[in-house]
Amino acid sequence: MTDQQIAEPHPVEGGVTSARGFRATGVHAGFRKDPERRDLALVVADEPCACAAVFTQNVFCSAPVTVSREHLEGVGYGTARAVVVNSGNANAATGEPGLEAARETARIAGDAVGCPASEVLVASTGVIGVQLPLAPFGTGLPAAVSLLSAAGGADAARAIMTTDTCPKEAAATFSGDGVGYDGCTFTVGGMAKGSGMIMPNMATMISVLTTDAPVAPNVLHEALVRAVGRSFNKVTVDSDTSTNDSCFLFASGDAAPAGAGAFDPDGPAFARFEAALTSVCETLARMMAADGEGASRLVTVHLAGAANDADADLAARAVANSPLVKTAICGHDANWGRIAMAIGKSGASFRQEDASIDIMGLPVCRGGLAQTFDEDEALRRFEQPEIVIDVDLGAGEAETTVWTCDFTHEYITINGDYRS
Please list the active-site residues. Answer: 204
Considering the rule CB under 8 A, would residue 243 count as an interface residue with a copy of itself? yes
Interaction between residue 236 and a copy of itself (CB under 8 A): no
What are the φ/ψ torsions at residue 258 (nearest 5 degrees)? -55, 135
How many residues lie near a copy of itself (CB under 8 A)? 68
Binds a copy of itself (CB under 8 A): choice among 117, 132, 192, 198: 198
Q: If we measure between CA atoms, which residue out of 212, 237, 211 comes closest to residue 224?
A: 211
Compute the distance between CA of residue 125 and CA of residue 30 in angstroms, rounded to an integer. 14
Shortest spacing between CB 337 and a copy of itself, in angstroms:
3
Task: With both helix axes pointing from N to C terminus, report the angle between 323-330 and 336-345 in degrees, rounded to the nearest 10.
Answer: 160
The DSSP code for 294 is: T
Q: Is 416 in the site for a copy of itself (CB under 8 A)?
A: yes
DSSP for 400-415 reads EEEEEE---HHHHHHH
Shortest CB 134 distance to a copy of itself, Å: 18
* Residues ≥6 apart with Cβ < 8 Å to 16: 22, 24, 43, 153, 156, 157, 169, 189, 190, 191, 208, 209, 210
| 218 annotated among ligand-binding-site residues | no
Quote the least distance from Cβ 60 to a copy of itself, whole Å: 3
Q: Which stretch binds a copy of itself (CB under 8 A): 5-13, 47-55, 304-312, 339-347?
A: 339-347
5 lines the binding site for a copy of itself (CB under 8 A): no
Residue 244 labelled as part of a binding site: no
Cross-strand partners of 41 = 26, 85
- Report the DSSP beta bridge partners of residue 358: 363, 390
Interface with a copy of itself, residue 257, by CB under 8 A: no
Distance between start and end Cα atoms, the chain: 59
Binding region for a copy of itself (CB under 8 A) out of 26-34, 43-51, 123-131, 276-284: 123-131
Sole binder of a copy of itself in the list 174, 181, 270, 350 (CB under 8 A): 350
Q: Name the nearest CA neighbour of 13 among 184, 180, 170.
A: 170
Between 277 and 359, whose beta carbon lies closer to a copy of itself? 359
Q: Residue 344, class by beta-carbon neighbours within 10 Å (0-12 exposed, 13-18 middle, 19+ buried)?
A: middle
Burial class (CB in 10 A: 0-12, 13-18, 19+), 264: middle
Considering only 322, 400, 401, 404, the residue that binds a copy of itself (CB under 8 A) is: 322
Q: Single out the residue of 105, 242, 283, 400 in contact with a copy of itself (rule: CB under 8 A).
A: 242
Q: Which of 241, 226, 203 is nearest to 63 (CA)?
A: 203
| Phi–psi pair at 334, nearest 5 degrees | -80, 60
In the shown chain, the binding pattern of residues 77 to 116 toward a copy of itself, with x for contact by CB under 8 A and - for none, equals ---------------xxxx---------------------
Q: Site for a copy of itself (CB under 8 A): which residue of 29, 43, 50, 61?
A: 61
CB of 315 to a copy of itself, least distance (A): 10
335 binds a copy of itself (CB under 8 A): yes
Determine the interface stretch with a copy of itself among 36-44, 112-120, 128-136, 246-254 (rule: CB under 8 A). 128-136
Does 293 show up as a binding residue in the annotation? yes
Residue 328, interface with a copy of itself (CB under 8 A)?
yes
Instruction: Give me the DSSP letters along 191-231.
Output: EEE-SSSB-SSBB--EEEEEE-S---HHHHHHHHHHHHHHT
The nearer residue to a copy of itself, 178 or 418, going by C-beta atoms, is: 418
Task: Work out the number of other CB atoms within 10 angstroms of the CB of residue 351.
Answer: 11
d(CA 223, CA 121): 19
Choose which of 1, 75, 151, 369 interacts with a copy of itself (CB under 8 A): 369
**Which CB atom, from 239 or from 384, has the smaller least distance to a copy of itself?**
239
Rounded least distance, CB 263 to a copy of itself, Å:
35
DSSP state of 331: T
Binding site for a copy of itself (CB under 8 A): 57-61, 92-95, 127-130, 196-198, 200-201, 203, 238-243, 321-324, 327-328, 330-333, 335-338, 340-345, 348, 350-353, 355, 365, 367-370, 407-409, 411-413, 415-420
Binding-site positions for substrate: 162, 193, 204, 293, 415, 420
